[in-house]
Structure 1
Amino acid sequence: MLIPKHLCPLLVYDICSTTVEAIEAKINKYTRKWLGVPPGLSDVAMYCRKAKLKLPMKSILEEYKCGKARLLTMLEESDDSVVKTVQPSLKTGRKWKVTEAVDEAKECLKMKEIIGQTQTDRRGLGSTTAKWWSKTKGKEKRDMIIDEIRNKEDSTRVQKAVQQPQQGQWTNWDTAIQRSLTCNDIWHMAPLRISFLIRSVYDLLPSNANLVRWGKMDDPTCPLCQAKGEIQHSSTSSTVFATEGGVKKWHGGSITINTHRKGLLDGCDDWVVSADLPEWERYPDVIRKTALRPVIVIHSASTQQIIRVELNVPYESRMEEAHTFKEGKYLDLTKELKKGWL
């Protein structure tokens, strides 16, 4: 990548952080063009490590700050008595000062040691190990300072995302799992797929509400139910779209099913796969008699088992709501199947 090449002179010479911010703004401009996303995409989407879609991008401003902090700590903790006694002076401008950042990181690490290990996620107690400031020395302390500066930069990005009602909706996706893309993934992806993936996560697809916001339309309402045509509504929230066969039409195109042998399918060899497509007519009679048509049904006549599969994924902010809706939709069918469908 070009960042290490540009980072070397930034760390050697006394260049202020404002100049580095201007360099990063220029890099972000061409990175957005390369990814095929609109110019309004926030830098949080490209560099935040806590986002639901993590991209393999590095912020040159963050690397600049970490490099300056690493250089300062190495000079302060040098084994050479002459170097250690001389007060190092690294000029980084007035907006960000490396000495204040390092001192603040040290104080935060000392405070974390006083507070102790706390639970910050859903993993069980004792699943993670903590490093304490008083029990480390040398390179470990420098690494802890650098990690603390990185965590502060990432926390600043999360705070910025919380203040963005459109592109920061992922901060409320508690049930969604983070997806991390690597450089190899992006290299083998089609350009339009990368663009669609990023724009769908950060609500930059051309929905009716966005087209009005961009000055391309005048009416933001949904043409089916007259609700606000946002991306989460257009995906699966529209009741008219779901009840009048919209989901069936949506899934009536090309569907690719990747099957893997699991323990749930062991025990018999007469599994029959039925899909909600016009040319497929192998639904079990008990489902064919009802007006409900699950997307995919896998059934076995010998063991009297039926597996229902739903492929329509809702918007991440309403995954639990959509799951409850689907459970209620097929509740009567499930009860009837449990009584015996042969």
Structure 2
Amino acid sequence: MVRGVRSQSGQRLPALRSYMDDVTSLLQTAVCTARLLKRFEELLGWARMRIKPTKSRSLSIRKGVRNDIISFTVDGERIPLLAEQPVRSLGRLYTADLSDSHMPVTVMEQLADGLERIDKSHLPGKLKVWCYQFTLYQRLMWPLKMCEITTSTVLRMDAKESEPFQHRPVWEKDTPSINRDYRQEKARLVLELRDSTDPFVRNTKAPVRTGRKWKAEEAVDQAISRLMHREIVGRTQSGRAGLGWGTAPKFWSKATRKERKDLVIVEVVRSEEEQYKVRALSQRQQGRWTTWEGVVDRTIKWSDMWKMPQARLSFLIRATYDTLPSPSNLSRWYGSEENCQLCNAPNPSLQHILSSCKTALAQGWYRWRHNQVLWKLAEVLEARRLEAAKDHSSTARKLINFVGQGAGAQNITQRERRSLLTPGCDWNLRVDLDRQLKFPPEITTTSLRPDIILWSPSVKAVILAELTVPWE
């Protein structure tokens, strides 16, 4: 009888494990292994299949020491030892020492080589970031998840990766971060081992080693505790929205197995994001974006990136991090002195230039910029208002459903386009341009002057829009 080895937890592992066309055997003695190979060769022969010794590897360990004397044969051909020819399976390189000590150096070299190739390419900045995100980054995450690479190594990789892409988090909140996604994948690996449907994998209790700075098992346990505590607290509301606004959260006790896994991973990522924001708050220049309202929640997708001109994108990123060549930055970088060209203020900052110069305010430059944006918004809203009124007045065309011979009739309905202006056809628009805006008296009497007012008497709904200066 051939039996598998017994693990430290007391669980006896199966003698054979197979995945697709790969088979792994783990036995206690060389005699059992030879007997199993012979029987396995007979069974494959009945199916007109055979084992390829050149693609197979063998490893014998006796009392914790590798034994290269013992070898095995299949159909008279010797199976190479793992010490002679390392093998790669499922993206992981297996060597004779059964250790991942070489992987940190290998992954770091792969990252450095990939970044150098991307940096030397003659592509614009956003295409370089695209190449990194969808090519190099995907190749790095698999060994980081499967191999035993410490958190210290990942932090060094994250620092090296962020050098050519220092301003990435502003324009793409969901852009991958090596450190953040490393913790996410390790947490997912912990849950996969704990909740595996295979009892041998689940009962083995294999540890996930990530070093001393951060431990995946502890992070998962803390995330589960926070989710349970959140369920005790109940549903809360933050921001200016009323009670009950938004979708109801999914609580731990009512979540399915897959939903619990997703909740834990999201909680681990949220914890990492909180630490990232704490570090950003302590940085004067790089953390300037944390003081801007709405910047943290803004996400610019790749579809927006391709439509945005390179100069506008560059200004958006550099203005958010306050790295534009303003007089205050030039004084800090090069020691130069320059006054504001309008009010002669010494070394004006970006905030002064965008929204705090009193002379520009008195001359109407800020009002002109404000009105230019307001004109564009008014044009778009007026077009949408007329389109909504036209769609409401026109009757829906009745579709003719053709039915095949012997088939029954099917009800096909057109999908209705929904928007804020869909209900009702009497939407009115007023914009605070050219002349002073007066609030509609049928709504209320007030001296307030919002930039845009949209209201519908039939629906009894009012939409207000107010622009603000860039620095706010």
TM-score computed with the length of structure 1 as normaliser: 0.66
The partner residue of 1:6 within 136, 140, 148 is: 140
> What is residue 187 of structure 1 aligned with on the other side?
306
User: Which segments of 5 or more consecutive residues in structure 1 lack a partner in the other structure?
Assistant: 33-40, 267-294, 300-306, 318-342
- Matched AA of 2:207: S
Aligned-partner Cα distance in 2 for 1:73–1:240: 61
**Are the equivalent residues in 2 in contact too, given 1:204–1:210 (CA < 8 A)?**
yes
Once structures 1 and 2 are overlaid, which stretch shifts more, 62-71 or 225-234? 225-234
* 2:197 maps to 1:100: no
Count residues in correspondence: 269
The structure-2 alpha-carbon separation of the partners of 1:167 and 1:72, relative to structure 1 and needing over 3 Å to count, comes to same
The partner residue of 2:204 within 80, 86, 103 is: 86
The partner residue of 1:125 within 243, 247, 258 is: 243
What are the equivalent positions in structure 2 for 1:264-303 lying under 5 Å apart? 297=434
Aligned-partner Cα distance in 2 for 1:227–1:126: 50
**1:24 CA drift (Å):** 2.2
* 2:378 maps to 1:241: no
**Are the equivalent residues in 2 in contact too, given 1:69–1:102 (CA < 8 A)?**
yes
> What is residue 275 of structure 2 aligned with on the other side?
156
Aligned-partner Cα distance in 2 for 1:264–1:92: 54
- Matched AA of 1:181: I
Aligned-partner Cα distance in 2 for 1:25–1:104: 26
The structure-2 alpha-carbon separation of the partners of 1:97 and 1:264, relative to structure 1 and needing over 3 Å to count, comes to closer
> What is residue 162 of structure 2 aligned with on the other side?
28
The 3-state SS of whatever aligns with 2:149 is coil
The structure-2 alpha-carbon separation of the partners of 1:113 and 1:207, relative to structure 1 and needing over 3 Å to count, comes to same
**Are the equivalent residues in 2 in contact too, given 1:222–1:228 (CA < 8 A)?**
no
Larger radius of gyration: 2
**Are the equivalent residues in 2 in contact too, given 1:55–1:180 (CA < 8 A)?**
yes
The structure-2 alpha-carbon separation of the partners of 1:54 and 1:123, relative to structure 1 and needing over 3 Å to count, comes to farther
**Are the equivalent residues in 2 in contact too, given 1:298–1:308 (CA < 8 A)?**
no
**1:174 CA drift (Å):** 4.1
**1:164 CA drift (Å):** 3.0
**Are the equivalent residues in 2 in contact too, given 1:221–1:228 (CA < 8 A)?**
yes
**1:231 CA drift (Å):** 0.9
> What is residue 224 of structure 1 aligned with on the other side?
343
**Are the equivalent residues in 1 in contact too, given 2:173–2:300 (CA < 8 A)?**
yes
The partner residue of 2:471 within 316, 328, 332 is: 316
**1:83 CA drift (Å):** 1.9
- Matched AA of 1:262: E
Aligned-partner Cα distance in 2 for 1:251–1:148: 40
User: Which segments of 5 or more consecutive residues in structure 2 lack a partner in the other structure?
Assistant: 1-133, 387-431, 437-449, 453-465
**1:249 CA drift (Å):** 8.8
**1:71 CA drift (Å):** 1.0
- Matched AA of 1:95: K
> What is residue 57 of structure 1 aligned with on the other side?
175
Aligned-partner Cα distance in 2 for 1:230–1:59: 31
Dislocated runs of 4+, deviation >6 Å: 220-223, 248-253, 263-266
**Are the equivalent residues in 2 in contact too, given 1:209–1:221 (CA < 8 A)?**
no
The 3-state SS of whatever aligns with 1:210 is helix
**1:84 CA drift (Å):** 1.9
**Are the equivalent residues in 2 in contact too, given 1:56–1:183 (CA < 8 A)?**
no
Q: String of CA shifts for 1:136-189, please: whole Å, max 9, x gaps.
A: 241111111100011111111222232234443443444779432111222333
> What is residue 212 of structure 1 aligned with on the other side?
331
The 3-state SS of whatever aligns with 1:180 is coil
> What is residue 336 of structure 1 aligned with on the other side?
none
Aligned-partner Cα distance in 1 for 2:300–2:205: 43
Aligned-partner Cα distance in 2 for 1:99–1:86: 15
The 3-state SS of whatever aligns with 1:30 is coil
Two-structure CA RMSD over aligned residues (Å): 3.8
> What is residue 271 of structure 1 aligned with on the other side?
none
> What is residue 260 of structure 1 aligned with on the other side?
380
**Are the equivalent residues in 2 in contact too, given 1:15–1:92 (CA < 8 A)?**
yes
Q: String of CA shifts for 1:32-69, please: whole Å, max 9, x gaps.
A: 4xxxxxxxx5xxxx34xxx7x54441112211111111
> What is residue 303 of structure 1 aligned with on the other side?
none
Higher relative contact order (CA 8 A, sep 6+): 1
The 3-state SS of whatever aligns with 1:31 is coil
> What is residue 201 of structure 1 aligned with on the other side?
320
**Are the equivalent residues in 1 in contact too, given 2:150–2:210 (CA < 8 A)?**
yes
> What is residue 279 of structure 1 aligned with on the other side?
none
Aligned-partner Cα distance in 1 for 2:467–2:200: 67
Identity fraction in percent: 31
Aligned-partner Cα distance in 2 for 1:153–1:9: 21
Aligned-partner Cα distance in 2 for 1:84–1:90: 13
Q: String of CA shifts for 1:282-301, please: whole Å, max 9, x gaps.
A: xxxxxxxxxxxxx95279xx
Greater helix content: 1
Aligned-partner Cα distance in 1 for 2:143–2:294: 43
* 2:193 maps to 1:75: yes
The structure-2 alpha-carbon separation of the partners of 1:115 and 1:222, relative to structure 1 and needing over 3 Å to count, comes to farther
> What is residue 335 of structure 1 aligned with on the other side?
none
The 3-state SS of whatever aligns with 2:434 is strand
**Are the equivalent residues in 1 in contact too, given 2:290–2:296 (CA < 8 A)?**
no
* 2:171 maps to 1:171: no
